[in-house]
């Protein structure tokens, strides 16, 4: 669009600059390996990696009991990824504790942990998965010749913390939830070894596309609440240990907070803005007319985010006035909004 000497590009929503070359994440303000998400042209949200918190993920946070927020409004999930658990081919036992974020969405269809082949083979990929479905705990595994599943009774929601124990020896698996009776299952087919090479994902995984996972291991949502004290052993005579190398340390993670902590207590959104938290990620959701990390900047009536948007057409430049705005029309157009030729 040209206006005699002054030409400029009309940019798509999340781009800016004379050549529409800037995205709010190009000059990435987020620190420490955070995922930057362009909330608007001027504003980015930083989705913090494991162990970091704050608007720009600049604060270190010590996580003893990880809390997961499920899928955030940008479509990213909170998760932890530990190195692949060694030697679980023929035998394993897991113990863990859960605290649900709420009784509604946290019980719908949520992944607790997963390790597997992520859909590589044709007829049944090896995997091990634990999740929640309609208020019950679901434990499934496939050794390559068909899926075995155990579904618990509905969880007793008067309990604040749920304790889950599960295991497998060759084809035979078992699950015990809280004080419910132990349930067992035998996997179909003839194969007896679990061959999985992926990392051990807790709460969700990096790119949350359930369709990419083997059938039988797909949970629509990631976990909402706290998962802690995960312990595993690969032999009846071994001690239980935390996953990870070094022990208890994840390789990777995103938007994971400390259970019971509210990162929003650390910041103040101004001018009626609301602090939104998603695990360790937080940002201010501003009221109409305000923008910026803490909602401290006034939004001009000519800003692209202003609602309703200005009505200047055909490349007319919006110029704010004390009450309203006026359109400066490029050559060859006229009218209040440059709508006429």
- Going residue by residue through the chain, which has 341 residues, state the pLDDT in tens, using 9 for 90 and above: 554 445 656 666 555 555 655 566 777 778 778 888 887 766 778 888 898 888 888 888 888 889 998 887 777 888 999 999 989 999 999 999 999 988 777 788 899 999 987 655 554 589 999 999 999 999 999 998 889 999 999 999 888 889 999 999 999 999 999 989 999 999 999 999 998 888 999 998 877 676 777 777 888 888 999 998 999 999 999 999 999 988 889 998 988 988 876 667 767 888 888 888 776 677 888 888 888 777 888 888 888 778 788 999 988 999 988 888 999 999 999 999 999 98
Do 248 and 322 lie in one domain? The reply is no
Q: Please write down the HEC assignment for all residues of 313-336.
A: CCCCEEEEECCEEEEECCCCCECC
245 with 52: CB under 8 angstroms?
no
Which residues, 6 or more positions from 273, have their beta carbon under 8 angstroms from its beta carbon?
Answer: 284, 285, 286, 287, 290, 294, 295
Per the domain annotation, does 38 fall within a domain? Answer: no
Handedness of CA 188, 190, 191, 192 (dihedral sign): positive
Residues in a beta bridge with 240: none
164 with 204: CB under 8 angstroms?
no
Do 332 and 193 lie in one domain? The reply is no
CATH code of the domain in which 314 resides: 2.10.25.10
What predicted TM-score, i.e. pTM, was given to this entire model? 0.72
115 with 140: CB under 8 angstroms?
no
Do 189 and 328 lie in one domain? The reply is no
Domain range enclosing 98: 79-258
Per the domain annotation, does 246 fall within a domain? Answer: yes
In the chain, the number of structural domains is 2
Do 191 and 330 lie in one domain? The reply is no
The 3-state DSSP class for residue 60 equals strand
Domain boundary among 227, 258, 289: 258
Per the domain annotation, does 207 fall within a domain? Answer: yes
In the block, tokens 């609602």 appear at: 307
Cα atoms in the 13 Å half-sphere on the side-chain side of 146: 10
């Amino acid at each position: 669009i040209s206006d005699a000497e002054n030409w400029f590009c009309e940019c798509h929503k999340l781009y800016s600059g004379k050549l529409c070359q800037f995205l709010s994440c190009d000059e990435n303000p987020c620190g420490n390996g955070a995922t930057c998400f362009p909330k608007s042209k001027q504003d980015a949200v930083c989705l913090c990696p494991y162990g970091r918190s704050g608007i720009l993920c600049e604060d270190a946070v010590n996580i003893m009991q990880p809390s997961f927020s499920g899928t955030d409004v940008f479509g990213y999930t909170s998760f932890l990824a530990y190195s692949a658990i060694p030697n679980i081919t023929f035998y394993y036992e897991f113990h863990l504790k859960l605290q649900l974020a709420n009784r509604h969405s946290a019980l719908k269809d949520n992944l607790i942990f997963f390790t597997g082949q992520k859909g590589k083979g044709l007829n049944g990929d090896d995997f091990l998965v634990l999740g929640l479905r309609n208020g019950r705990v679901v434990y499934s595994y496939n050794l390559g010749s068909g899926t075995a599943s155990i579904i618990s009774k509905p969880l007793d929601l008067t309990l604040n913390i749920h304790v889950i124990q599960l295991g497998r020896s060759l084809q035979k698996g078992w699950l015990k939830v809280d004080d419910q009776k132990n349930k067992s299952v035998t996997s179909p087919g003839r194969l007896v070894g679990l061959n999985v090479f992926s990392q051990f994902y807790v709460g969700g995984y990096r790119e949350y596309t359930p369709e990419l996972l083997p059938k039988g291991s797909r949970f629509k949502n990631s976990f909402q609440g706290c998962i802690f004290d995960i312990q595993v052993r690969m032999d009846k005579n071994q001690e239980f240990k935390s996953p990870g190398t070094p022990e208890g340390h994840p390789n990777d993670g995103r938007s994971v907070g400390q259970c019971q902590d509210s990162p929003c207590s650390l910041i103040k959104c101004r001018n009626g803005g609301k602090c939104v938290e998603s695990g360790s990620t937080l940002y201010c959701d501003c009221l109409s007319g305000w923008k910026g990390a803490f909602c401290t900047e006034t939004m001009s009536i000519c800003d692209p985010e202003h609602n309703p948007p200005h009505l200047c057409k055909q490349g007319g430049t919006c110029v704010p006035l004390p009450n309203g705005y006026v359109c400066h029309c490029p050559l060859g157009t006229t009218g209040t909004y440059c709508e006429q030729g």
